[in-house]
Structure 1
Amino acid sequence: MMTSLEKMIDHTLLKPNVTDQQILQLCEEARQYGFASVCVNPCYVRLAADALRDSGVKICTVIGFPLGATTTESKLFEAAQAVQNGADELDYVLNISDVLNGRYELVKQEMEQFVQFRANSSKPVLIKVILETCYLTDEQIVKVCKLAKEAGIDFVKTSTGFGSGGATKEHVRIMRETVGSKVGVKASGGIRTYEDCVAMVEAGANRIGASASVAIVTRGSSDRQSAY
Structure 2
Amino acid sequence: MENKASIRVRLLDHQMSDDLLKETVYRLVAGGATEIVVLPTQIARVKYLLADSAIQIGSVIDFPLGASTVEKKVFEAAHAYQAGAGFLEVCVNLADIFEHPVRVKELRESLFSLALSNGKLSFYLDTRQVKELTLVKFERAMKPLGWTRLSLGEDLPYREALRLAEIFKSDTATKLALTINVHQITSQEKQKLVANGLTRIAISHLNFS
After superposition, the C-alpha distances for 1:152-183 in whole angstroms (9 at most, x for unaligned) are 43421111349xx9942121122122575732
Q: How far 1:44 sits from its partner (Å)?
A: 0.2
User: Is 1:5–2:4 an aligned residue pair?
Assistant: yes
Deviation at 1:47, TM superposition (A): 0.9
Q: Which structure is higher in helix share? A: 1
Structure 1 residues 116 and 135 mapped into 2: Cα distance closer, same or farther (>3 Å)?
A: same
Match of residue 175 from structure 1: 168
In the superposition, the TM-score normalised over structure 2's length comes to: 0.79
Summarize the alignment of residues 139-218 of structure 1 with structure 2, pairs less than 5 Å apart: 140-145=134-139, 148=142, 150-161=144-155, 167-177=160-170, 182-213=175-206, 215=207
* More off after superposition, 75-84 vs 110-119: 110-119
Gaps of 5+ in 2: none
Contact 1:149 1:183 in 2 (8 A): no
Structure 1: gaps (5+ residues): 221-228
Highest RCO, 1 vs 2 (Cα 8 Å, sep ≥ 6): 2
Q: TM-score, structure 1 length as denominator?
A: 0.74
Moved more, 166-175 or 124-133: 166-175
Quickly say closer, same or farther: Cα 1:21–1:167, change in 2 above 3 A: farther
Residue in 2 aligned with 1:64?
62
The answer to whether the Cα contact below 8 Å between 2:181 and 2:204 also exists between their aligned partners in 1 is: no
Contact 1:158 1:166 in 2 (8 A): no
Deviation at residue 194 of structure 1 after TM alignment: 4.1
Partner of 1:81: 79
More strand by share: 2
Is structure 2 residue 123 aligned with structure 1 residue 129?
yes
Which of 26, 29, 37 aligns to 1:28? It is 26
Percent identity between the aligned chains?
Answer: 23
Tell me, in whole angstroms, the C-alpha distance in 2 between the residues paired with 1:190 and 1:166.
11
1:83 CA drift (Å): 0.8
Alignment of 1:90-101 (within 5 A): 90-99=88-97
SS of equivalent residue, structure 2 residue 153: coil
Amino acid of the structure 1 residue aligned with 2:36: V
State the AA in 2 paired with 1:120: L
Aligned-partner SS, 1:78 = helix
AA of the residue aligned to 2:126:
E
Do 2:91 and 2:125's aligned partners in 1 also have CA atoms closer than 8 Å?
A: yes
CA distance in 2, matches of 1:63, 1:70: 10
